Amino acid sequence: MIEHQVVIVGGGPTGLMLAGELALAGVDVAIVERRTARDLIGSRAGGITPRTIELLDQRGIAERFLAQGRIGQICHFAWIMLDISDLPTRRNFTLGLPQYRIERTLAEWVDELGVPTYRGREVTGFAQDDSGVDVEVSDGSRLRAAYLVGCDGGRSQIRKLSGIAFPGWDPTATCLITEADLTDEPPWGLHRDGVGIHSFFRLEDGGPVRVMVTEPGLETSDEPTLHDVSRALISRRGTDYGLHNAHWVSRFTDVTRQAERYRDRRVLLAGDAAHVHSPAGGQGLNTGVQDAVNLGWKLAQVIAGTSPESLLDTYHAERHPVAARVLHNTMAQSTLLEPGPRVDALRDTMAELLSMDEPRRQIAAMMCGLDIRYDLGDGSADGHPLLGRRMPDLDVSTPAGTVPVFTLLHDGRGVLLTFGAPWDFDVSPWADRVCAVDAEYDGPWELPVLGSVAAPEAVLIRPDGYVAWVGNGTHSGLRQALTTWFGAR
């Protein structure tokens, strides 16, 4: 039997990000991945939104992705385009990048951190006890881990074996998707017709065309073929534009479900294993990566013994509402993409509303993951609006020079930033988990949706970049916040 502290099932973006987070914290983590080859042929997801880019910034790897993709200062809600150039973030843009490139780049980072991957294998069963999980693998081998994390997609075997319910809504539409070559020039972009939607995009210069088309029914028992895509296109366009040489063909629906709980003792779920929904708005991959960053540092501290196991309960408490909101807005977007004159009228009304600055900024911040606020209680003397929200990536002056705040998070530890005021609080008992930095910053503090906020005198930033405590002239609540998030002295 091979032992690891954590076994992750699934080597997609969520599993890879979680593996990197854990390895960064010194955890012995391994991935079990059913695919035998690293490189994907197909690419279901097509990009990264601003908050996910910020999280990659926080680990010092964002530039690896930015060097490969297409930057655009727009996002969309049901394909109603939204300008995001005025959102208060250093990364006020989305990055068009095929999923296989995202996975490849994350995998290279994970390799650098020394994470082993068991490829061509699946988990066929597991059993929990008070000290760990015994994991059965399809090749007959067995693994032992303190914790098992299912990042194995919407049909998650880990979720099913754990008995975690997956309530939600059945699909109302099914779509075919392929990446192939075309002989004739298609009508680029997304189009709605009397049946549903169809679209034509090229994810990379010189690459194949991504073609998506709604099927006329919900019959999904057979594996889709290029002929199915061709037939569906001809039925609504009168041509398939010379569709040929398919790199892959797949099918997806707007099924909408969420795991009732993200944790069953020593088994946890993240990414599509915990929530599935329509791809409208491009939030799936991003929500999963953000799950991983929320979970990683917490699981690492529990394994290290610095935090109690109850810290893992905050993973469900914080991330379940976030995904529930994603499910809610994707159902709204799916409705707005349906055919018919009544939906046309609704789309026209929504487009008019979203042309106004305030609703545009609010919906854009939601679609970009920048408006998330975790309910962390009061945590400070005055309930500062920063509490529970992402820390802005300010350029702060420190004894080591002027640096963006996110660079202080590269090693995956928390940060206590103090601004100009003398502090006599002793943070040294948490020094292995929290870095104390004296800093200066002269300028406004701008947050998405909220706008300007009062500059605090100190902030405690969690490893995932969210503010856990705000101080204004007093240490009140700091010891409690440090103990809650980083364990006892």
Pair 431, 286 in one domain: no
| In a domain? residue 191 | yes
Domain coverage including residue 35:
2-168+257-367
> How far is residue 210's CA from residue 202's CA, in Å, rounded to a whole number?
6
Q: What does the pLDDT read at residue 378?
A: 54
Pair 28, 142 in one domain: yes
Question: Is residue 247 within a helix (H) or strand (E), and if so which, with residue range?
Answer: strand 244-253
Pair 408, 293 in one domain: no
Q: What does the pLDDT read at residue 193?
A: 85
Question: Is residue 149 within a helix (H) or strand (E), and if so which, with residue range?
Answer: strand 142-150
| In a domain? residue 373 | no
Domain boundary among 253, 279, 305: 253
Q: What does the pLDDT read at residue 1?
A: 87
Pair 201, 331 in one domain: no
Domain count for the chain: 3
What CATH number has the domain bearing residue 245? 3.30.70.2450
Residues 6+ apart with CB under 8 A from 333: 77, 78, 278, 280, 281
Residues 6+ apart with CB under 8 A from 328: none
Do residues 460 and 423 make contact, with C-beta atoms less than 8 angstroms apart? no
Pair 323, 270 in one domain: yes
Side-chain-facing half-sphere of 258: CA atoms under 13 Å: 20
Output the DSSP codes for 383-429: --TTTTBBPP--EEEETTEEEEGGGGGTTS-EEEEEESS------GG
Pair 133, 273 in one domain: yes
Q: How would you class 211 by CB atoms within 10 Å of its CB: exposed for 0-12, middle for 13-18, buried for 19 or more?
A: buried
> How far is residue 182's CA from residue 214's CA, in Å, rounded to a whole number?
19
Pair 53, 134 in one domain: yes
> How far is residue 284's CA from residue 69's CA, in Å, rounded to a whole number?
18
Listed residue (148, 146, 142, 147) closest to 121, CA to CA: 142
Pair 183, 82 in one domain: no
| In a domain? residue 87 | yes
Q: What does the pLDDT read at residue 247?
A: 87
Pair 162, 275 in one domain: yes
| In a domain? residue 382 | no
Pair 404, 326 in one domain: no
| In a domain? residue 381 | no
Domain boundary among 367, 386, 405: 367
Pair 180, 266 in one domain: no
**Which position has the token pair 């760990």?**
132
What CATH number has the domain bearing residue 323? 3.50.50.60
Pair 249, 261 in one domain: no
Per-residue pLDDT of the chain (489 residues; tens, 9 = 90+): 899 999 999 999 999 999 999 999 999 999 999 998 765 555 677 899 999 999 999 999 999 999 999 999 999 999 999 999 999 999 999 999 999 999 999 999 999 999 999 999 999 999 999 999 999 999 999 999 999 999 999 999 999 999 999 999 999 889 999 999 999 999 999 898 888 889 999 877 888 899 999 988 766 667 889 999 999 999 989 999 999 998 889 888 899 999 999 999 999 999 999 999 999 899 999 999 999 999 999 999 999 999 999 999 999 999 999 999 999 999 999 999 999 999 999 999 999 999 999 999 999 999 999 999 999 865 444 578 999 999 999 999 998 899 999 999 999 999 999 997 667 788 889 999 999 999 999 888 999 999 999 889 999 999 999 999 998 877 888 999 999 999 987
| In a domain? residue 342 | yes
Do residues 485 and 462 make contact, with C-beta atoms less than 8 angstroms apart? yes
| In a domain? residue 274 | yes
Domain boundary among 253, 285, 320: 253
Q: What letter does residue 141 receive in the DSSP assignment? A: -
Residue 20, amino acid: G
pTM (2 d.p.): 0.95
| In a domain? residue 386 | no
